Structure 1
Amino acid sequence: MNIYFSDFFEVTPEAIDDYGAFNISLINDLPLFIDPFLLFGNASSEYQDLHKSILKYLTFLKQKADAGITKFAQVRSWYLFPEIKQNWFGYSRIGNGGSGLGRKFGEAFSQSITWVFSDLGKEVVTQTSHLEKAALFEIGVGKDNISDFTTNLIKDYLLTYTEKFALEFIDPKKLRKVTVSKVYFDYELERWMPKTFTLPYIFSDYIILTPKNILTKDENWINANDLRGDFTSICDGIPNEQLRHEISNYFQRQLPAPEKNKNNTQKEITEAVQETIKKYPEVIEWFIKKKEENKVGAKNVSEEKVEEVAAFVKNIQEFVALLVSLTNFYDIKPKGSYDEALQRIAFLKDVIENNDGYRLFYLDGNPIKREEDLQIIYRLTWFATEYDVNREVNNGRGPVDYAVSRGGKDKTLIEFKLASNSKLKQNLAKQVEIYEKANNTKNSIKVILHFDATERKKVIDILKELKLEGDKNIILIDASRKISASNVK
């Protein structure tokens, strides 16, 4: 079964690994992204040059903003980019589609770049500037924007990196010359220019490979959560005693008086931190300095996160192999979307509960905690079907996990939930009914994964209370650890 780049392009995973690239899935995005700090933190001249090129472009943008941007056409030309879906990274739960860097991002960044990067090129506290700084202010720029912007700014490098691998390892029949838009910036013409590459080509599109050592998961090294979480220690590290006292005093005054014998809530503390940072943005400089001084930590966290996703990938490969060898999962002759969905879920349940498939749902011995991971797993195993398997986005009532359909009349909705979900009862009571109405279908299935007896009891009790016990459209899957099937005699 073809799932990964190595499968489709008939190269060994070892060749990709030795090259330093990540072996991406070509079925669904994986939850990794480029962290620009890893360019700064790497000693290689190649990565240092890439980081400098990002700062050069930021300098250009700031100069234009300082002079005054009067037309949206300028924002469109310099700030707006389509999502680079060809690297198959990001936050999409279906395929590799995303939103890219649109008008909202462009306007937010262009209107704030002058003061966010007021010391660009003349830093006093930090070693240099960092693009991630934009996500530390409440200006409408998030971590996904930072990653997308970085990917676009180093697109020439990524395409060249991919082309080099492709020409050496991939059958020329699987390659194509492609002219890619917005590859490099011409500072004389002040516009982004196209460039032609010979690249791996499949599904009517080219593919981009990415070096593993610039990837991470969950958060950039410089991120707002750490800024808030480490606020006290950051302030304690400011050498100016008067400034340190003023910041501490202002922070304390932002905290509301707690109830008797109680401490301030985390929400109250977070809001006080945010107000203090608005008043004293110097805190951000000292936070970034602290991050700069721990390049090794950034590298170690990145490696750990990438290995975690690599283990996730390996688990899925083994799980698909089990489905192929033990079931007819990929050979179902469908009578309708509902029947196919039920059959495939039944096969999943059997392999998970009775044939060691439960291992898929554990990383480093711990069960997965995010339903997003469960949904990605589902998509990475649910292919080779005549039906469309899509995530519904604009149905008027919010997204379901998946809609399996063929045409407008044959549609089945599928929801995946972890038993640990604190809103499971609420979801079971209302969610499917609402989604059925919004999607004009009566067919819907709920799949609930539990990891121990306590979680199972919780689900059973909820089903009894809602009078849903025995409902054939609510399927429980036991993903608790079991004695290996190979060891059962």
Structure 2
Amino acid sequence: MVKRTLIHPVLFSQHFSIDPTRLKLAGLLDPVLNSDTKLFIDPLLIAKSKNPLIKTEGMAAVTAAFNNVIGLVDMSQSETDAAWKGAYKALDLDERSETCLGYGGASTSGNSRPPTLRRSILRTAKEIITLGEKNPAMIPLMGLFEEGVGPDTLSDMTTNFLLSTLCEITENFCKIEGISTKKFGPKYSNRELPDNPYHLGTPVVLVPRDLLRDLPLAADWSDVSRVVMQIDEIRDAVNRMFGNIAKASVADKKKAVRKVALSSLDNLRAVLAAVADASESYDEKADLDGLYQFRAVLNADRAKFNGMVSAPTVKSDVTLRATVNSMIDQFKQLVENNNMWELLWYGDVPRHERASQLLFFAVCTVMCAINNVDVSPETNSGGGPVDFKFSTGFRGRLLVEMKLSKGAVEHGYKKQLETYKAAAQTKAGIFVIMDVGGMGRKLNVIRKLKAEAEARGETTSDIIVIDASRRLSASKR
């Protein structure tokens, strides 16, 4: 799978010059056209969607697709007969780039996932059918039982079965809003769809927000464990297998749940019901990953960022560092003195580290754009660690790593940034700590590491602390 690097993010609403609130009112995600948003369509949310087309046509299409796969597997007598081959073909796991969702998949070849994965899913389905269960809900929950069935797989599988309905939703919205469209052929039900200028020959397919999660529940072990372990029979059986389940690895726990769930029809049905009932869409109000805050900053009035940073007169590693330091200082001022810290909290709970990183990325992007500064922040849009590589029109590079104070600060400074610098062939780095509490002795530790490295003659990363702590409202101060 190709990982996209995110530079100069462009939202659907920005490219097609529409008010982003129109998408919000329609219950649709405003996608970033030139990268992927780390959200996924969870098949378990289809039945709960408030979108009328999803509730009717979409639900019917997905149920029919799952029933078709189950029916063919049930008929099959061997993995070489026509029924098995039909089930293999019907279980469409091809990647879908049109929705701009996921970890950064860019392939549309249809060969991105190995045939062994489809066969594994079908074999488990056959085992479940033999046990006596033909509920189509087993297919969306294969992430519980199969290694390699991750969030992208579940999301793309569901998108393939929903594609015709999603295309209809997109076409209807574009007609209402007067967005230019064109036909992309029978693959997209001959619907009139908007063209994605950053992915030639590919339309944009809009997705209802209430279908989205940061991870599909069946692929998120922390949620699965919480839900499944509430079932007495499952919890007791798994505990008997491990003695102390806290010491078992995630892979071991997953195998144990698979074994216990498939040991009896009652256990299987209890697991299917519990997980299906527990799935909830991404909480937009809490927005713990900052995905909607990110969009709000990109769409905000840019005039307030005017004059915050100046373009260097010459391009060099020295002026690059000065420019980036200036952007970090402006970000620090916005957080500490202009109430931007509020975007990093949900009530008394600090938003995730990714929220701070996305906020910083959005602010830097807007500052550079409004002030015509030729310094590009970029980041990997995938699911791994997020860092920022700043560059200008020459070979200079400067890496910025951002961590929350309550996280693995020492590890971030000592290991991660050094790894990134080696990969980028640069020794220039800045380490930013967003102080939301829980700092303890971490700052002293990394300052000591920095001093020891400098004593050895090594180049070290600068350390900057931004006070992102929660303040009292003005009326309570």
Q: Please say whether Structure 1 and Structure 2 have the same fold, judged by a TM-score greater than 0.5.
A: yes
Q: Is the 8 A contact 1:251 1:273 kept in 2?
A: no
Matched, 1:165 2:173: yes
Partner of 1:382: 364
Q: Is the 8 A contact 2:238 2:260 kept in 1?
A: no
Gap regions ≥5 residues in structure 1: 185-194, 237-243, 257-263
With over 3 angstroms needed to count, the CA separation of the structure-2 counterparts of 1:48 and 1:437, relative to structure 1, is: closer
Of 348, 351, 357, 2:340 maps to: 357
Matched, 1:467 2:451: yes
With over 3 angstroms needed to count, the CA separation of the structure-2 counterparts of 1:461 and 1:291, relative to structure 1, is: closer
Partner of 2:405: 419
Map residues 39-54 of structure 1 onto 2, 5 A cutoff.
Answer: 39-41=46-48, 44-54=55-65
Taking the aligned partners of 2:136 and 2:441, their CA distance within structure 1 comes to 55
> How far 1:196 sits from its partner (Å)?
5.4
Q: Deviations over 1:177-201 (max 9, x none)?
A: 24268547xxxxxxxxxx4533254
Q: Deviations over 1:405-449 (max 9, x none)?
A: 346722222211112223x22332243333323322122221111
- Give 2:388's aligned amino acid: Y
Tell me the secondary structure at the aligned position of residue 102 of structure 2: coil
Matched, 1:177 2:179: no
Partner of 1:254: 241
Q: Deviations over 1:193-225 (max 9, x none)?
A: xx4533254435532211123222334268654
Tell me the secondary structure at the aligned position of residue 208 of structure 1: coil
- Give 2:286's aligned amino acid: E
Q: Is the 8 A contact 2:88 2:119 kept in 1?
A: no
Q: Deviations over 1:326-357 (max 9, x none)?
A: 55357644734434322222221111112111
Taking the aligned partners of 2:472 and 2:453, their CA distance within structure 1 comes to 28
Taking the aligned partners of 1:99 and 1:414, their CA distance within structure 2 comes to 32
Map residues 282-321 of structure 1 onto 2, 5 A cutoff.
Answer: 282=264, 283-292=267-276, 294=277, 298=279, 301-302=280-281, 305-309=283-287, 312=290, 315-316=293-294, 319=297, 321=300
Matched, 1:55 2:60: no
Of 347, 372, 382, 2:354 maps to: 372
Larger deviation, residues 13-22 vs 56-65: 56-65
Q: Deviations over 1:19-38 (max 9, x none)?
A: 23223344654332211112
CA RMSD of superposed structures (Å): 4.3
Taking the aligned partners of 2:154 and 2:229, their CA distance within structure 1 comes to 26
Q: Is the 8 A contact 1:127 1:289 kept in 2?
A: no
Give the alignment's TM-score, normalised by structure 1: 0.74
Map residues 59-458 of structure 1 onto 2, 5 A cutoff.
Answer: 59=70, 62=73, 67-68=78-79, 83-92=95-104, 97=106, 103-119=112-128, 128-171=136-179, 175-179=180-184, 182-183=187-188, 195=190, 197-199=192-194, 201-203=196-198, 205=200, 206-220=203-217, 224-236=221-233, 248=236, 251=238, 253-256=240-243, 264=244, 266-268=246-248, 271=252, 274-275=255-256, 277-278=258-259, 280-281=261-262, 282=264, 283-292=267-276, 294=277, 298=279, 301-302=280-281, 305-309=283-287, 312=290, 315-316=293-294, 319=297, 321=300, 324-326=303-305, 328-329=307-308, 332-333=311-312, 335-336=315-316, 337-369=320-352, 371-383=353-365, 384=369, 386-391=374-379, 401-406=387-392, 409-422=395-408, 424-452=409-437, 454-455=438-439, 458=442
Equivalences, count:
441
Give the alignment's TM-score, normalised by structure 2: 0.75
Sequence identity (%): 20
Gap regions ≥5 residues in structure 2: 1-7, 455-459
> How far 1:399 sits from its partner (Å)?
6.6
Taking the aligned partners of 2:197 and 2:122, their CA distance within structure 1 comes to 38
Q: Kindly indicate whether structure 1 or structure 2 has the higher relative contact order, using CA contacts under 8 Å at least 6 residues apart.
A: 2
Q: Deviations over 1:267-291 (max 9, x none)?
A: 3396467336325513333211234
- Give 1:290's aligned amino acid: A
> How far 1:59 sits from its partner (Å)?
3.6
With over 3 angstroms needed to count, the CA separation of the structure-2 counterparts of 1:126 and 1:354, relative to structure 1, is: farther
